[in-house]
Amino acid sequence: MALPLRSSRIVQSAARSMRTPWSASRALHGQPDELYSYTSGRWLWDEEQHLLARQRWFDIKALAAVAIDVKQASRCLSITKVADGEHSRVLRLIMDNRQSVVVRIPYLSQQDAASSISSEAAIMTFVADALKLPVPRPLLCEPSADNPVGCEYLMMEEASGTPLHDVWHLKNIIDRAAIAESLIEIQANLISTAFDSHGSLYVSSNDTHGTAPSPSPPEERSKDGYHVGPLADLDGFQAWTPERGPGPSAKDWLQAIAQNHINHLESTLLNRRALLKSTTSIENRIELYQKVFCVVQAITSSAEGDVSMIPRLWHSDKFDAKNIFVTGNKVTGVTGWRGSSVAPLPFLARQPDWIRYQGPYIYKLPPEFEAMTDREERDWWGYTVGCTLMRMRYKDDVESRCKILDRILHSPMSPLLGQLADLAIQNYGDTMGLRETIIQVTR
């Protein structure tokens, strides 16, 4: 598939990713430093280190100029920060022609920003064009900081609709059921495409600098123009390691994740030994990740030939309510595709948190409900019956529309496999959760 290059080099002056606060903040309309800094939380320990890791200076005038060019506007009216994420910052730019764009800028602490940006752009384009799903279209992909803006970034259309987490509690049971049904259609469509290897999705192009993948013809429903490549978004590793896939089996996928942890820990181990510091905790963590190899080998051997283990693309944030946008009772946008993998569904698929309900299960209101005067009692009955009916409706719709997903959601092993994958990917100091999950899986 041919990719039309669209250069973002419309500003002649070069910019660097690290700029002084007084020069960077004297940008468009006197924007404050909060556009470049993390302002969404605090830390009890090492706060300065955490804040520096999430700081990213860039040329905001150059970014505005790119957005103006992309949207064919005359000027940019405003630039606001939408969110400070764990790995990147999201900005919203509004033009004078009433159009807007959203820009994701990774922090300097994200070691693999280039692959992260490239993969996210490819995934969103594939899902929008090949699968015809409601996903904001990427407009410009800059996987290198060597551009006038001075940082890697992904510019995309703004999602259509209202975030579900803002309105879900206001919806009646009929609208909730319709929204869930709309989501199931999206999930079934996503699952309908299988791949031949495990990893992250990329556009089949040698150079995605300053480009957005071109749309496929309406009649074309294929993976042409895309390929599965090395895993992106294995965050927090100080040294880039080659063991990121792609791999032909589920074992290769999860072992690549564990091996990256081991390589990173071994590098840390050498540094601590050079400084004559204790290495016991790091050695214990390496031993724990080596146990993941044994667990994965046993799981994949027993599941050989299982159709649900065929690699498929899934949403990285499990279709969280903050990433789903609705108009009325229909899903009109899904965001948050960063870090999405092509991997076995039992390790990825979950029932969305906003639908999950643990009980008690009560299917109808009591006869005396209308006469109840206690507000808390009425609310409890309404909430409980509503959640019960919502769970039942979602279960029935999944069963009738997507047999593979239904099988996975009803498997007692799927929650453990998902937990194993999530904890193996994380790079946090506490490994107790991973240790307990390995024990449960082996039982």
| pTM of the shown model | 0.82
Close Cβ partners of 113 (under 8 Å, ≥ 6 residues apart) = 106, 143, 145, 152
Categorize the per-residue pLDDT at 417 as very low, low, confident or very high, splitting at 50, 70 and 90.
Answer: confident
- What pLDDT is stored for residue 305 in this prediction? 63
pLDDT at 209 over 70: no
pLDDT at 28 over 50: no
What's the rounded mean pLDDT across residues 150-164? 95
Question: Among 48-62, 305-319, 358-372, 415-429, which stretch is predicted with the lowest mean pLDDT?
Answer: 415-429
Measured between alpha carbons, how far apart are the two ends of the chain, in Å?
Answer: 48
d(CA 18, CA 208): 23
What's the rounded mean pLDDT across residues 308-321? 90
Categorize the per-residue pLDDT at 414 as very low, low, confident or very high, splitting at 50, 70 and 90.
Answer: confident
Of 256 and 89, more confident: 89
Close Cβ partners of 99 (under 8 Å, ≥ 6 residues apart) = 71, 73
What's the rounded mean pLDDT across residues 322-338? 95
Q: What average pLDDT does the structure give for the chain?
A: 81
Of 437 and 200, more confident: 200
- What pLDDT is stored for residue 200 in this prediction? 92
pLDDT at 378 over 70: yes
Close Cβ partners of 70 (under 8 Å, ≥ 6 residues apart) = 101, 139, 140, 155
Instruction: Judge residue 90's burial from the number of C-beta atoms within 10 Å of its C-beta, 0-12 exposed, 13-18 middle, 19 or more buried.
Output: middle
What's the rounded mean pLDDT across residues 27-33? 53
d(CA 420, CA 138): 32
**What are the Cα distances from residue 88, in Å, to 37, 106, 165?**
11, 4, 21
Whole-number percent of the chain with pLDDT over 90: 44
Categorize the per-residue pLDDT at 103 as very low, low, confident or very high, splitting at 50, 70 and 90.
Answer: very high
Taking Cα atoms as reference points, which of 135, 256, 132 lies closest to residue 199? 256
- What pLDDT is stored for residue 24 in this prediction? 36
Categorize the per-residue pLDDT at 180 as very low, low, confident or very high, splitting at 50, 70 and 90.
Answer: very high
Taking Cα atoms as reference points, which of 274, 266, 273 lies closest to residue 241? 266
